[in-house]
Amino acid sequence: MKSSKSQLSGALLELCGALLDRSGTPDLVLRVATELAKSGDERGADAIRGLVPTTSSGAIATPDKALAVVPNFSGETLTRSARVPVDRETSAPLATVLLPKALPATSPILSPALTSAVQSWIAEWGRAAELRTVGIEPAHTCVLFGDPGTGKTDLALWIAGQLGLPVILARLDGLMSSFLGTTSRNIGNLFAFANRHRAILVLDEFDAIAKLRDDPNEVGEIKRVVNTLLQNLDERADKGLTIGITNHPQLLDPAVWRRFELQIQLPKPDLQTRASIAERYAQPLRFTRGQLKLVASILEGASGAEILDVVRSLKKSWILEGSNVCFANRLQNVISTHAARVPAHVVATVNAPMRDFACMLHERYAFTLIELSEVFGVNRTTISRWVS
């Protein structure tokens, strides 16, 4: 019986590979994998899922939410009517509940290395039963760290959606209280609520509480708060998934780092990733290759959120100024209102005469004549004369 199932999986594997080669769309292939898993052949299903590549834009190619694997945790189902704990003094809720339907359907655009790292964690829960046969448990905890605007919160919410779990989202700075002992009580109530339900606990602004306990500027209360946090993280270890998010990893207590099995850094996007982010945010407009390269080049060091702001302004320009304005002129107008997002020398170059601007792009960023023609809206003969 096992041999015939293996032969069937092998035949399906070949068929699914042919479907991908012919159509390039993974939806049908992923549905086949899901049906195969339902029949009990999880190994064959995983092999078929492995045929689906990551997308060229850097987004993570995975099945849609309806096909996601839900980790098997004990606890109550989290619903919209669940009573979220509140701070006693202010009556402010300690967290926000996000059900799977409200979670992002599209992943943040990541570098290939980060894409692989995130896929690996999701795959752990897809093959949890196999891991447990050799005494290994999938990772229950992860900390995402990096500069503001790099997509950490979006990534955490997207991961929850792929695992089919709701999110309990808590901003830890909101748990802080000026009343002695209240902050520790808030932390305990938050974790008790999370442990009672099947959900991912996302701790945003994690550094607000998880500070170095030996910081001479902190009073004894914050040390007790950190100890409370550590105890609750330990108690939750086998009850559910926890993701911490911080912009300031240097503030985290070393003992807090040890509570997280995975530590994923989200750096500022590189040139190709910046171009992919600009391409996604530009939709439904379609920037040419040269135009995307220009946005990515001058926004070196910018976060994904900062790229979004610039691209939004470019889209406004298309409406307000019309489609006949060349991209270089359009960018000059936009950069004047986003000067803090690019180095001063780049602002000066962007605002230089068109010929000087073109020469800089040609020399510093290796723009081709075709790409420069797309940016400046003139023919290649003119561009050649400018840069020669």
Phi, psi of 360 (to 5 degrees): -60, -45
Predicted local distance difference test score (pLDDT) of residue 28:
60
Per-residue pLDDT tens over the stretch 345-378:
788 888 889 999 999 999 999 999 999 999 999 9
Whole-number Cα distances in Å, 159 to 57, 241, 318 = 18, 11, 34
The answer to whether the Cα torsion of 228, 234, 236, 241 is positive or negative is positive
Q: What DSSP designation does 340 have?
A: G
Q: Where are the beta strands (DSSP E) in the chain?
A: 76-77, 96-98, 141-145, 167-171, 197-198, 200-204, 241-246, 262-265
Domain 56-265 class? alpha beta
Predicted local distance difference test score (pLDDT) of residue 224:
84
Question: What is the secondary structure of 41-58 as a DSSP string?
Answer: -HHHHHHHHTTSPPPTTS
Predicted local distance difference test score (pLDDT) of residue 95:
94
Both structure tokens of 67: 């096909």
Per-residue pLDDT tens over the stretch 74-118:
789 998 889 999 988 888 899 999 999 999 988 889 988 899 999
Owner of token pair 């939806």: 27
The closest of 47, 37, 39 to 13, measured between CA atoms, is 47
Distance (Å, rounded) from C-alpha 179 to C-alpha 275? Answer: 48
Strands 96-98 and 200-204: unpaired
Distance (Å, rounded) from C-alpha 258 to C-alpha 381? Answer: 61
Whole-number Cα distances in Å, 220 to 108, 182, 185, 196, 255 = 39, 14, 16, 30, 17
Predicted local distance difference test score (pLDDT) of residue 383:
93
Per-residue pLDDT tens over the stretch 41-62:
666 665 665 555 444 444 544 4
Distance (Å, rounded) from C-alpha 149 to C-alpha 306? Answer: 7
Predicted local distance difference test score (pLDDT) of residue 40:
64
Whole-number Cα distances in Å, 351 to 78, 181, 194, 335, 363 = 54, 56, 53, 9, 17
- In the beta sheet, which residues pair with residue 144? 245, 264
40: left (phi over 0), alpha (psi -120 to 50) or beta: left
Distance (Å, rounded) from C-alpha 104 to C-alpha 159? Answer: 9
Predicted local distance difference test score (pLDDT) of residue 358:
92
* pLDDT under 50: residue ranges of the chain: 1-9, 21-25, 53-58, 60-67
Both structure tokens of 12: 């399906």
The closest of 303, 260, 283, 284 to 108, measured between CA atoms, is 303
Distance (Å, rounded) from C-alpha 292 to C-alpha 272? Answer: 10
For the chain, give every domain's residue range.
1-53, 56-265, 271-387
Predicted local distance difference test score (pLDDT) of residue 259:
92
